[in-house]
Amino acid sequence: MLALDNPIRGYAWGSHTVIAHLQGRPTPTEEPEAELWIGAHPSAPSRLPDGSSLADVIAAAPERVLGAPTVARFGPRLPFLLKVLAAAEPLSLQAHPTLAQARAGFAAGDPNYVDANHKPELLVAIEPMAALCGFRDPLVSADRIAALAIPDLAPVVALLRRGDLREAVGTLLSWPEDQRHELIGTVAKGARLLPGPDADVVELLAAKYPQDLGVLVSLLLNHVTLQPGEAIWMPAGNLHAYLHGAGVEIMAASDNVLRGGLTPKRVDVAELLRVVRFEVLDSPLFPAVESEPGQAVWAVPVPDFALHRIAVAGDPVTLTVAGPRTLLCLGGTVTVADDAGSVTLTGGRAAFSGAADGDLHVTGDGDLYLATVGALTE
């Protein structure tokens, strides 16, 4: 059992309170803290008390640390990355490629692809989390845009009434640059005509990005506010954006992101349109399955990862989860032991247990998340 020291990424949209409060540090922090990374991603690996990285530990003995089945499937690397994500402002409108798309794009030297891996994601809210996730019924979206009463948007409304999500998104994201500011200004003024959360989302995004057509694309997506413990699943091709809030996020270990807007970063509309799945998502929520009393698992339909939540309440808990295990305490105090030793964790602290280190034995009183590989069968 290895105690981990985990890097914090300070992106501009991050919170000045969430991660620091979780770890018991003074708030507000001087700089924004957006993501706590827990894993072996080469750009920011977790470190051990001796200064070595988790990536170093894996490289020294991959089959012992990861297990032979994991190495056979993914190679000598940890295939998942666990995070705490804390958003004070909206993130970019984005989607992620399939594994085949990522491999082809990376091999071709396409600058959109920084590695050859896909990046499916699951996020579990730890405080209310507002997000856009997947396409809703295009007829509903057509009604929302029509309610703005902007003649220039009539062709988009017609496309949505025909169910042509691809062409509607492409039309919006390809809007002439010199007309965007005026259009978004008009949309922002008309937002009060929209019902419920649609008005709030448009006003929020238009204030932050007054020339970005992602503001209008938001009206094509499901608006969801997750309550603590609820999750959304974002497979390849799912168009999404986090708006504000915090959660535990797990993903395949990749940095491949195709952005369509709501960001000053690189946007490639053509490539985004190629990877997005233009399908209606009836519900973006992804429920957990209770495995035992006080234990739940989000078993997503990819082999790269699964996420478990364990409520530890005095009685010892034994976990027989196989493969490499990353553990994150979200509150309270828990001690986790394996055949190699034990680590005591408090809020925002994490540990790692190798595949060869046996069952996990947990004591204490707290909220524990455990990440490992998913089912390794096709």
Feature table: binding site for Zn(2+): 94, 96, 121, 240
Annotated binding site: 94, 96, 121, 240
The amino acid occupying position 191 is A
C-alpha span between 6 and 317 (Å, rounded):
25
Cis peptide before 28 (omega within 30 of 0): yes
Whole-Å CA distances, 219 to 99, 192, 199, 225 = 29, 14, 9, 15
DSSP state of 14: B
From 77, 136, 259, 349, the catalytic residue: 259
Q: Are 28 and 369 in contact (CB under 8 A)?
A: no
Residue 142 in 3-state DSSP?
Answer: helix
Residue 370 in 3-state DSSP?
Answer: strand
Concerning whether 259 is annotated as a catalytic residue, the answer is: yes
Q: Which residues are the active-site residues?
A: 259
